[in-house]
Amino acid sequence: MPRVGVASGSAQDHGVHARIVSSGGARHEASALWLPRGRRYAGAMPFDFRSSPVDRAAEVSLGARGLEYRLVDTADHAAFDAWSQADNLAFHHPRPREIDLEHERRVFAERRVIGVYDSTSARPDVPVATVSSWPTGLSMPGGRSVDAWAVSSVSVAPTHRRRGIARALMEAELRDAVAAGAAVAMLTATEATIYGRFGYSPAARAATVHVDRRRARWSGPDAPGRTHLVDPASLREIAPQLVRRAVARTPGEVDRWGGLLDRVLGLVDPESAGSRAVRAVRYDDEHGEPQGFAAYRVTRNPNEPGVLEFDFLAAATDDAERALWRTLVEVDFVDEVRGLLRSVDEPLPWLLDDPRAIAVDHLGDHLWVRVLDPVAALGSRRFGAGGTLTLDVDDPLGYAHGVFELEVSGDGRAEVRKVEDAPDASAAGSSRRSRRAGGLRLGVRELGSILLGDVAPSLLARAGRVHESSAGSLEVADRLFRSARAPHLSIWF
């Protein structure tokens, strides 16, 4: 996974409360509020996740292999800079300069940073494996946010493969997530074959959108407001509020952090060539209120049309999204507009005279989700229709294992109950889970993939990965898990 910054508690600004039914049937309110500096408010005792003790099982397991599993103090610049060196090396980034390290120190100060060390290596101060994590909000269908545990910076040096390090790291992260009260863990994966064994599964896709500028003629409606070309630095003050609103609109988005905004706006190293190339456009509505912005660059050879590329567009309204797209595709002296990590259901083809001016590639999985608490995760989203459904979930690691009943009202609000084990009359002293009519049998990975509405349960059934317990259950499940807006994550973390 690529290195990124950390959440700074912005989930509290658009967090909500999901109405949930516990296994005992009592209603309670599950907070989706994460306070700054890693402190969670959900009726549980506050704690600083960054300095809580390291996972004992990982410590013992790796210690038996002559390795030290260690919490890195980001205030210790020597220790953190050595960790950063390993992180950058693993993901083939250039060796960080001092200005880069200063930025990373600020960003990672809000994360839990772990390193694995080998005292017999040539550089015992540099970890041979890394991981970082933090609590944040994950947007769900319907505009709610659920408590999530973001995992990043997962790396193992090529000199230390096949020693059980990655497994120890990933299993420890799941235990840390549960201890923090997260309903799901999540990550963005550079490789698709690593994380399934830990219960992660693709939950939101992304694609690169290419627009042939020479064929693009706008046919969509005019926006009631207007766009402005602005100094990127002028957006820094208003960007957090706009981004929070944009994130809440789309399931699969995660809370942004200040360090990310500084990067996309070119503020980390303002005098570098990359930062000086950043351009920005802002959309104001008919009342003069900012509703969105995009940051982009144009690259070109001398005296030739260029390529406009962007990887950050935040729109709090549909008008803002359309207006920003229009401005980008109408920039002169550009042959191609390229949008990275865009949604699989962009409205752009319906806004141009020639939809074939658009090509899509690099379409694939992006956000991976691992459900830890099905009651909280399912109870945090709005469903596409009313109905009842039972989900019999198999989780080899035990976190999400059980039978869960959903009762969804006509407005899409769900009450979720875990069904307790019931005695088996045919075998005294044994127990079996209650099996109700109108249900599906599925694994925790399949639950993660349908959670945000990215894939229909019936499609997974065709692949043999979801099984219908009673006739008609798949049809009900497809209606329930449908999302009005396709899930989408527009950043790496």
Residue 474: φ, ψ to 5°: -65, -40
Told to judge if 200 belongs to the known catalytic residues of this protein, a careful annotator would answer no
Of all residues in the chain, what percent are helix, strand and coil, respectively (each to 5)? Answer: 25, 30, 40
- Marked catalytic residue, from 117, 293, 296, 493: 493
Note whether 154 and 340 are within 8 A (CB): no
Q: Is 105 annotated as a binding residue?
A: no
Is residue 465 classed exposed, middle or buried when 0-12, 13-18 and 19+ CB atoms within 10 A define those classes?
middle
Q: Is 191 annotated as a binding residue?
A: yes
Q: Is 327 annotated as a binding residue?
A: no
Q: Is 167 annotated as a binding residue?
A: yes
Q: Which residue, among 135, 128, 117, 205, has the nearest Cα to 173 in the 3D structure?
A: 135
Q: Is 173 annotated as a binding residue?
A: no
Q: Is 164 annotated as a binding residue?
A: yes
Told to judge if 383 belongs to the known catalytic residues of this protein, a careful annotator would answer no
- Give the tokens for residue 191: 């490789």
Query: Which alpha helices (H) appear in 388-438, and where do they start and end?
Result: none
Q: Is 70 annotated as a binding residue?
A: no
Distances (CA, A) of 105 to 171, 222, 425: 26, 44, 60
Angstrom distance (rounded) from CA 122 to CA 82 = 13
Distances (CA, A) of 11 to 52, 107, 252, 490: 21, 17, 14, 17
Q: Is 166 annotated as a binding residue?
A: yes
Side-chain-side CA neighbours of 244 within 13 Å: the count stands at 16
Note whether 474 and 458 are within 8 A (CB): yes
- Marked catalytic residue, from 69, 80, 117, 195: 195
Q: Is 485 annotated as a binding residue?
A: no
> What element of type H or E holds 473?
helix 473-481
Note whether 321 and 291 are within 8 A (CB): no
Residue numbering of the annotated binding site for acetyl-CoA: 154-156, 162-167, 190-191
Q: Which residues are annotated as a binding site?
A: 154-156, 162-167, 190-191
Catalytic residue annotation = 195, 493
